[in-house]
Structure 1
């Protein structure tokens, strides 16, 4: 089953945030690999195993930058309707979440240092079953979006 693209996508600045996250993770893995290479060298252990680990880490790093980030952004979309919020994401295992407006308890925004630098905010929609996150929206429109969702929730609860 092929899912169609929904109305809204994440802002393109999220790609920069993801690149930064993968850079931090990849750098730490490369440091560990280089450290193991140095330990194996001074302990006079066969360097082939450490070199293989280093090459795998480097391949992971390149895979994330060249394939994963653009494809992840393309597959992330959401849509806010008067009766529900639909969120789709995933590359291999696609996830489609429908959150009925009547089930929403509250809406939160969060902003870490990487999101703040790109002027983005993550939007968390909480129900009794758990929280569903829209990874990034523009900070300038996040309050409008949050209030719009809460207004739709009020209307949905009044209709019941």
Structure 2
């Protein structure tokens, strides 16, 4: 957040110093941008993670998320085809991984799992899938 704020400050300074804009207008624009960053990073993102959860049961995986509208996804173990892990630059910086669970109907993600836990979690889910397919 700090880097974005510094870049926004430098960018707004360069834009407003190169043009003939009133100082009050630039101060208001900067204040609005600052309040926006504080609102998003201080309230929305932490609240979003408080409202996101997953639970792995022996016969299904349940994923719940949403702030205003709650979405609940149940993935039967017998329907899981494969599990992928992905890690972009921001997740790599935080040592996190996303697990993508693919079925014939589509893919669902368990986001931001610790990289050390991701392999264990993947193997655990695959073992439950194997047991579920053997029972059929």
Counterpart among 6, 13, 16 of residue 37 in structure 1: 16
Inter-CA distance 90–82: structure 2 relative to 1 (3 Å threshold): same
**By how many angstroms is 1:103 displaced?**
1.6
Q: Which has the higher contact order (CA 8 A, sep 6+)?
A: 1
- 1:13 alignment partner in structure 2: none
SS at match of 2:33: helix
SS of equivalent to 2:67: coil
| C-alpha distance in structure 2 between counterparts of 1:78 and 1:31, whole Å | 41
How many residue pairs match? The answer is: 136
Q: TM-score, normalised by structure 2?
A: 0.79
Q: Distance in 1 between matches of 2:67 and 2:21?
A: 40
Distance (Å, rounded) in 2 between the aligned partners of 1:50 and 1:56: 10
Partner-residue secondary structure (3-state), 1:114: helix
Q: Which runs of 5+ in 1 are unaligned?
A: 1-18
Distance in 2 (alpha carbons) for counterparts of 1:153 and 1:86: 14
Alpha-carbon distance in structure 2 between the residues aligned to 1:104 and 1:50: 54
Greater gyration radius:
2
The residue number in structure 1 matching 2:64 is 88
Q: Provide structure 2 residue ranges, at least 5 long, that are not aligned to the other structure.
A: none
Q: Provide, for residues 3-45 of structure 1, a one-character-per-residue CA deviation record: whole Å limited to 9, x for no partner.
A: xxxxxxxxxxxxxxxx68xx64x66666665555345xx2x35
Q: Distance in 1 between matches of 2:9 and 2:77?
A: 45
Q: 1:29 to 1:106 in 2, by over 3 A?
A: farther
